[in-house]
Structure formats: structure tokens, C-alpha cells
A and B are shown apart, each in its own frame.
Chain A
Amino acid sequence: MTTPTLKQSTLREHTRIHGLGVFRPDVIVTNEDICQWIDSSDEWIRQRTGIVTRHRAGKDTSVIDMAESAARAALADAGIEASQLGAVLVSTVTHPYATPSAAAQLADRLGATPAPAYDISAACAGYCYGIAQADALVHAGTAEYVLVVGVEKLSDFIDNNERTISFLLGDGAGAVVIGPSESSGIGPSVWGSDGSKHEAIRMTHSLLDVRELSLAALSEGPNALAAAAESAIWPTMRQDGPTVFRWAVWEMAKVAQQALDAAGVRAEDLVAFVPHQANIRIIDEMVKQLGLPEHVAVARDIVDAGNTSAASIPLAMHRLLSEKPDLSGGLALQIGFGAGLVFGAQVVVLP
């Protein structure tokens, strides 16, 4: 009996971003709007967060709708047909079904079926997690082109009357197509987690609690259920701001430096810094900690878009490239960090 020679996938040396597309929903929420719900002022919010407006999606716009718009734009930008996709990855924490995934439906809508498709739950690090996986899939020869979408409809999971996080959040989507390249286009991923801090950014309660709370209110009669504040039943986001700030700046500056070192790139070699858009003070302090020189363009899309979790990096990258097209082809450092806690960073060649 002869043993066959087991074939393995053929490795590829280089990968890059082939195309980028975004979707910004059109409901604009101003700081004045926010001040109807919490005792604050436009000046206070700008000073503490940098945010002037956030874009939010209407009731009829779903996570999959936003992902589709961004994905179609990214495919067009890359000049790739959906049928060429070897995998569809969707990073989101706001697709309102535990199963089936948003990615499988997105792949079908795009015409990418039967491409493998799955969601990634890595909150504000979700986009960088997606890039890490897409890069690995293309490198390993498991897929040729991979679609990565970061999409969130955070407005479905906020409580307008609480003041730890809801007023920061916006909706949106950003997508990229990752594929083979003649030269290096994506540096090594530096990514990780620290679940010991899972309560630093969290949901108020679980889906099982929703069932318990609804049944408990209902047992007191329909009026009791109607009277129960929506926020007491529906789970929404909370964060411990100062703890997150400290971790985001000082721990994440180290991760960002590791991503630079792993890529063999110095801060002065960068043309852009595209961090997760969490808070302008985190961005400014990170710039300081990393010692980024003046010529490095820093993405500050948060001013207009708010914090859009997994969507924030591609949205911010898209704005930067629209405003400064000559950055295209240069090196950008991107870093995502958030609920988990989780983080991910890479140096990439801007599309």
C-alpha cells in the first residue's frame, strides 16, 4: 500500500489592503440633543470627549444593511467581484441575533455564497482582529481575497439617560478587501486580551436576565410590564471611564510600539496614525506617549462620528484618505482596544 503525499495549502508571502469602503448613517445627533437626556453642555462634552456629533442609523437600517453598503464600496474600490471572495468576516457586537451570523447573510446578499462567513466579537478591537485573521488566511493560502467589515448599530444598546458611555456612541460601517500582494502591505498583528477586566466595559445584564425581568414584570400584570422602564429590561452598555482611559493610553501605547517594532518601522516612518476613535483625549495622550512626529497625520474622525466601536478605524481611515489622498501608499499604524478587554494593532500600507 502506498501512502499518498498529503498536499497542504500554498503559502503566500505578501498581503495588502486592496480596497476600502464605508457607510455613515444619516441621523446626526448633536451635543444639544444629548443634553436633553443628561445634565451636560456642548462645551463639557467637547472638552471631555472631543465629540461634536455622532451619526446614528434609523429604525429601518440594520447592521447587515450598513455592512452591505460598506462592503459594496470596498469591493468596487478594490476592483474585486464578490464571487472572488474566499471569506467574509464581520466584526460586530450589535447584530441583534446570537445566531445565525450577520456574515453569512451579508455574503449571500453580496453574491459571495458559498464563501465561508463568520462574525467576530471583539468590540472596539474587532476591526484589527478581522485584519489579523484575513491576513493569516491569505498568507496561509486558505483564501485569496477576504472581506473584513467592522459594523455597529450601538444606538440599539444605549440608555440615553446614563452618562458613562451612551453619549459617546455612534453607528456606522467600514469594510476592506484583503488579498495577495507583490510587496508587504500588512505588518505582523500584535493582539491579545485581558478578561480579568471584563467589567470595565460591559452590558448591564444578559439575555437570560431579559427573560427573567420581563416575566417578573408581566406576573404583576400587563400594566407593570408597561410601566417598567425600558432601560430596566433592555440591556445597555456601561463603562468605567477612568479605568478604561488608563488602560487605553498607557497599556495600549506599549502595544502600539510593539506593532511598530514587529513591523520594523519607526514612528517617523509613518504617514498616519489611525487609532480606535474612543475619546479624543485617549488619542491625544497616545500620540504623546508614542512620541509621534508632527508630520504623522492623526485620525480624529471621532469629532464628527463619535465612537463607533468596530467601525471606527476603517471610518477614520476613509476620512483621512478623503481629506489627504496623498497619504495613499504610506504606512499607517492602526490600533483597536475595547470591551473584553481586547486589543489588536498592525502597521498597514494605506490603500
Chain B
Amino acid sequence: MASNEEILAGLAEIVNEETGLAPESVELDKSFTDDLDIDSISMMTIVVNAEEKFGVRIPDEEVKNLKTVGDAVDFIASAQS
């Protein structure tokens, strides 16, 4: 079970790997599309890598609800509990 801080750090690492963005730019209030400029295809790669890293399942229909980094952290945290 990872803490929210650990999930954020893990997500930042995944985002960095996919997009090259600095991990510290991946903050809770950042929008994946508007702030981080992540397109729907990159988002799927991030989602699949997050599933593997955190041992959770993020269904396709849930992905569009994950607008900010915080949304993703919350979803992963609740899916883990």
C-alpha cells in the first residue's frame, strides 16, 4: 500500500519516462492535457504503466475522468485500499 506521496512520486517517474517532463513539474493540481500537454495516446501508456506499478486496474471509461494528476493519485489510492 503506497501513500499519496509515494503514488505521486511514482506517477511523476512514469510521466517523465513517457514524455521527458521533469518529475517535479508533475504536481497534484496539474491537468494532464492542459498543463502537461499529454495527449490521449500517451495518457494510455501512463495508465498502463501505473496499473503495473501500483497493482490496480484503471478501466478505459475511468481514464477520461482523470483530468488532473491529483485525480489519478486519488483513484489509485482508493483502488489500492
**Chain A contact residues, CB within 8 Å of chain B:** 48, 240-243, 245-246, 249-250, 279, 281, 285
Contact = CB atoms under 8 A, between A and B. Distances in A.
A249 B52 CA distance: 14
Contacts of B45: 249, 285
Interface of B: 39-41, 43-45, 47-48, 60, 63
Contact of B63 (A48, A242, A279, A281): A242
DSSP majority for the A interface?
helix
A246 B48 contact: yes
B48 A281 contact: no
Given A241-B41, A246-B44, A285-B45, 15 more contacts: A48-B39, A48-B41, A240-B60, A241-B40, A242-B41, A242-B60, A242-B63, A243-B60, A245-B40, A245-B44, A246-B47, A249-B44, A249-B48, A279-B41, A281-B41
A48 B38 CA distance: 11
B65 to A, nearest CB: 13
A241 B41 CA distance: 8
Nearest to B42: A281
A246 B40 CA distance: 10
Contacts of A245: 40-41, 44
Contacts of B39: 48
A228 B3 CA distance: 56
A279 B41 CA distance: 11
Contacts of A240: 60
21 contacts: A48-B39, A48-B41, A242-B40, A242-B41, A242-B43, A242-B44, A242-B60, A242-B63, A243-B60, A245-B40, A245-B41, A245-B44, A246-B44, A246-B47, A246-B60, A249-B45, A249-B48, A250-B48, A279-B41, A281-B41, A285-B45
